[in-house]
A and B are shown apart, each in its own frame.
Chain A
Amino acid sequence: MRLLKLVPDNTNIGFVKLRGWAFGLTLLLTIAAGVLVGVRGLNFGVDFVGGLMIEAKFDHAAPLDAVRNKIDGLSVGDAQLQQFGDADTVSIRLPLPHSTDEGANNALVAKVEASLKADYPTVVFNQVETVSGKVSGELIRNGVIAVVLAITAIALFGIFRFEWQFGVATFVSIFHDVLMTLGFFALTRMEFDLNIVAAVLTIIGYSINDKIVIDDRIRENMRKYRQMPLGELIDLSVNETLPRTVMTSLTILLALASLLLFGGHVLRGFTAAMMLGVIVGTYSSIYVSSSLLISLGLDKSRFRQMSEAGDKKKAARARAERIAPKP
C-alpha cells in the first residue's frame, strides 16, 4: 500500500534566506492588526462591557429589520441586533436598565418578550445573559491577567529549558499570534466574549507546542552538527520537522473544521479563532521564532560548552553507575 506523503522526503527549503521578506510581511501584518484593534476596536460581548443579551429563536428566518423596529419602539435604550450563526436566531443586546430595583432586568426581558410574542407567537428565548458593569470589569481584568500570565510563564519555561534567545523568540512570536487573532476579530467584528479568551489561551498553548518541537530539534542538531553555521542548522531543523508541522496542523484544522461546520452556532466564534490561531501559529513558528534566533545571535559556542558540560555530567553518572550498579 502506498502511503500518503504530504511533504516530500528531505526537503531543503531556505527559510532563513527568506527571513528578511518574512519579517517585513510580518511587521506589516502586525502593524495592520494593531491599528485595526486600536481604531475599529473589538466588538465586545456583554461579558466584557456589561448589559443584557437575549438570544431569540424564530421558527423561520428572523425578520431582522422588523424586530429592530419593534424593539426601538419600546424605548429601552440602544439595541444592537446580530444574526447568530443560523438565519433563525438573532441576538439582541440592550443596555442594563439604570434602576437598581431587583426586578428591573426581569421586567425588561419580559417587556421585550411580550412585544416580540405579539407579532411572532412562536419565538423562543434560548439564552438570556445579564452582566453588570462591575462583573464585566472583573472579567476583563481576569482575561488580561490570564493571557499575560500564560505568555510570561511559557516564555520563562523556554528560557529555563533552552537558552534565553529561545524564550525571547517564543515570546515575540506568541505576542504576534495573539495580536493577529485580535486583529481578525477587529476586522470581522465577530463578538469577542469569554470563550474567545479561552480560544486565545489555547492558541498560545498550541503555538508554543509547535515552537518547542522546532526548538527541540534545533537544540538536538546543535549537538549533532557542531561545525554547521547557525543559518544552515535552523534550515535543516525546520525542514526536518516540516512533515510533522504540516501533518499536525492539518489534522487539527480538520478536527476544527468539523466543529465549525457541525458544532452549532454557539461555538462558531471560538472555533474560527482557533483555526486562525493554528494557521498563524504555524507560520510564526517557521518564520518568526526560528528566524529570530539568528537575529538574536544565538551563541553556538556557549551552547556547545553547556551541552558538553551536560555530557560530562552524564558520563560521570554512567561511571558512577558502573562502579555501583543499580539493584
Chain B
Amino acid sequence: MLDFPRWKIASILGVLLIGILLAIPSIVPESTAKQLGLGSAPRINLGLDLAGGSHILLEADTADVAKSRLSAMEDTIRAEMRRMTPQVAIGDISTANGSLNFFVRDPAQVDAAVEKIRTLTAPVGSTGQRDWDVRVVDSTRIVMTPTKGGIDQFVNQAMDGATDIVRKRIDALGTKEPTIARQGSDRILVEVPGVGDPSQLKALIGKTAKLEFKLVDTTADPAKVAAGQAPVGDQILRFENGSPIAVVRQAILTGVDLKTAKQDYDQNNQPSVTIGFNARGSRAFAETTQQNVGKPFAIILDNTVLSAPNINEPILGGSASIAGSFTVQSAQQLAIALQSGSLPIALKTVEERTVGPGLGADSIHAGVVASAIAVALVVVFMFVTYGRFGIYANLAVIINVFVILGAMALLNATLTLPGIAGFVLTIGTAVDANVLINERIREERRRGRSIVQSVELGYKEASRTIFEANVTHAISGLIMLILGSGPVKGFAVVLLLGIVTSVFTAVTFTRMLVALWLRRQRPQAIHI
C-alpha cells in the first residue's frame, strides 16, 4: 500500500496534468486562447441548446419521388412510342393509383411496345429486379408500376446530390460552422449554430429550384385552358396568382444549363435575378428565340410560371433576367438556390429545433452557477464528514471536472445542456467511490485493524464494488449514447467520460495521496 514507486507517481500526475492542460482552451474565452497561442488547440463544441442555433432534419418526400417518376416516364413513353417505326399509337394514358397505364390502339403492336418499354427500365442492384414493373392487362393495356427497389435506389442517389446542394446553399449564406450530414437512407441533418431566425435558412434549403424555360402555346383554346385541358404535347401551368397558361411540354432549356445566377435589378428598378447560360444553353436559347420572335415564352420555377415575356428579338448573349414579385431577399435566395443547382428530390422538414442565443447564454450561465454551487456543497459535506480523507476526495473531484473537460476537448465532443446536468451528476457520483472507500476504512478501523491495514483493505475491498457499480452505470450510458439523439447524446458523453475519469481520480489518485501522507507522517491515529 505504502509502496508507491516514483514512476507511478509521475505517470499519475502526468495523466492528470495533460487532462487539465487539454481543458484550458475550452474554459478560457476564445480571444485569450488565441493570445496564448492555443487558437488551434482542440476545444469543446457547444451544442445548439447552449450556443443557440437551428437543428433541422430534412426528409425526402418519397411520395413525391414516385409521382415525379411517373410523370417523367409518361413523357418518355409518349416520345418513344411516337419515335418507333411504325409509330405506336397510344391513348387513355393515366397516372392514377401510383402506376402509369395506357392502351395501345393496335393490338398487334403490343408486343413490340412492351419490348421497347423493357429497354427503358433499368436493373436494381444484383437481384435481377428492375426499377419498373411492366405488365399487360386485357391484352391491349400496358401498366407500369415503379418498384420499391427502383424508388429506393433513386432516393439513395438523389440524396447524395441533395446533400451536396444543401451544403452549397448553406455555405453561400455564409453561416459559421454548419453541420450537414446524410442520415439513414432518406434524411439530411442540418445544424447551424448562431442563427436566431431560421425561416430564411429553411426557405432556402427546402427550395427545389427547378428552373425551366418553355414556349407558350398561343394556339391553345383559352376556354379549354381555363378548364385545365391541355392540347396534345402541352401542359397547363399556373402563374403565382393562379391563372392558367398552356405551355409546350418540351423545355427549351432547364437549370442544368445554367452557369451563373445573381440578384440584380430590372429596368423598373425592381429586384430580379440575372442568369447566365453555359455554351449549350446559350446555343439552345439563341436558336429558339431566333425561330420564335414575337411569341411569348414562360419562365417556370418549381412548376409555377414566374413570367411569360414576349421574345422581342433573338437573345444571343447567353443571359436572361428573371423578373417576378421579388424582394431583394427573396431574389438573393433564388439566385443562391439556382446557382447551387436544383434539388433532385423534394425535401420536407420533419423536425426542427431552434434555440435563441439569449436562452443559450442564460443556460450556460445557469449551468456554470449550478455546477459551482454543487461542487461547493459536496466539498464542504465531504470535508466535515471525512476530514483529511475528505480533502483528498475533494481534490480528486475538482481535478476530475477539468480532466473530463480535457477529455471532451480531445474527443472534440459537444457539450449540451443535459451534458451540464451530467457534470453535476458526475460530481455527485464521483465522490461515491470515495465514500465507499472511506466508509470501508472506518469499518476496518472499528474492527481493530491497524491504520495501514485498514486503508489498504478499504481501497482493495471497495475497488471491486466500485468497478462493478460503474460497469452497470456505463451500460446505461452506452445505451443512451447509441440510441439517444442530440442533447441526450451529449449527456451520455459526459456521463461515460465521467465514469472513466472518476475511477482514476477517485481511486488511483486519492490512493496515491493517502499513501504519500501515511509514508511521510506515519500517523498514530487517523480521523475518518
Contact = CB atoms under 8 A, between A and B. Distances in A.
A9 interface: yes
Given A254-B428, A255-B424, A266-B417, 8 more contacts: A100-B348, A128-B354, A194-B485, A197-B488, A208-B473, A213-B436, A243-B439, A252-B428
B424 A259 contact: yes
B461 interface: yes
The prevalent SS among residues of A at the interface is helix
A129 B352 contact: yes
A205 B370 contact: no
Among A139, A197, A213, residue most surrounded by chain B Cβ atoms (within 10 Å): A213
Nearest to A3: B387
5 contacts: A9-B442, A139-B485, A153-B479, A198-B492, A262-B370
Interface of A: 1, 3-6, 9-10, 55, 57, 100, 102-103, 105-106, 109-110, 124-132, 134-135, 139, 142-143, 145-146, 149-150, 153-154, 157-158, 161, 194-195, 197-198, 201-202, 204-206, 208-210, 212-213, 216-217, 220, 240-241, 243-244, 247-248, 250-259, 261-264, 266-267, 270-271, 274
A255 B427 contact: yes
B473 A267 contact: no
Contacts of A256: 374, 424-425, 428
B362 interface: yes
Nearest to B54: A128
A212 B469 contact: yes
B384 A10 contact: no
Contact of A267 (B382, B385, B417, B477): B417
Interface of B: 49, 57, 59, 199, 202-203, 206-207, 348-356, 358-359, 362-363, 366-367, 369-371, 373-374, 377-378, 381-382, 384-387, 417-418, 420-421, 424-425, 427-429, 431-432, 435-436, 439, 442-443, 446, 461, 464-465, 468-473, 475-477, 479-480, 483-488, 491-492, 495, 527-528
Contact of A1 (B207, B382, B468, B527): B527
A150 B474 CA distance: 10
Given A251-B378, A258-B424, A102 B483 contact: no
B468 A161 contact: yes
A128 B240 CA distance: 30
Given A6-B385, A206-B429, A213-B436, A126 B472 contact: no
Contacts of A255: 374, 377-378, 424-425, 427-428
Given A146-B479, A201-B476, A247 B385 contact: yes
A292 B49 CA distance: 43
B418 A205 contact: no
A240 B483 CA distance: 38
A102 B207 CA distance: 9
B491 A126 contact: no
A244 B57 CA distance: 46
A201 to B, nearest CB: 5
Contacts of B443: 240
A-B pairs, top 3 by smallest CB distance, nearest first, are A264-B366, A252-B428, A205-B476
A256 B49 CA distance: 20
A124 B527 contact: no
A146 B484 contact: yes
Given A201-B480, A213-B465, A263 B421 contact: yes
B475 A150 contact: yes
A205 B468 contact: no
Nearest to A110: B199
A240 to B, nearest CB: 7
Given A135-B57, A161-B468, A252-B428, A263 B382 contact: no
B354 A267 contact: no
Contacts of A271: 421
Contact of A194 (B386, B420, B470, B488): B488
A157 B471 CA distance: 9
Nearest to A151: B476
A199 B473 CA distance: 13
A291 to B, nearest CB: 20
B384 A128 contact: no
Contact of A216 (B49, B446, B468, B487): B468
A197 B418 CA distance: 11
B452 to A, nearest CB: 20
A256 B491 CA distance: 15
Contact of A3 (B374, B384, B485): B384
Given A127-B359, A161-B468, A267-B417, A204 B485 contact: no
Contacts of A110: 199
A261 to B, nearest CB: 8
A270 B178 CA distance: 28
Contacts of A157: 471-472, 475
Contacts of B464: 216
Contact of A259 (B374, B382, B387, B473): B374
Contact of B358 (A124, A135, A161, A247): A124
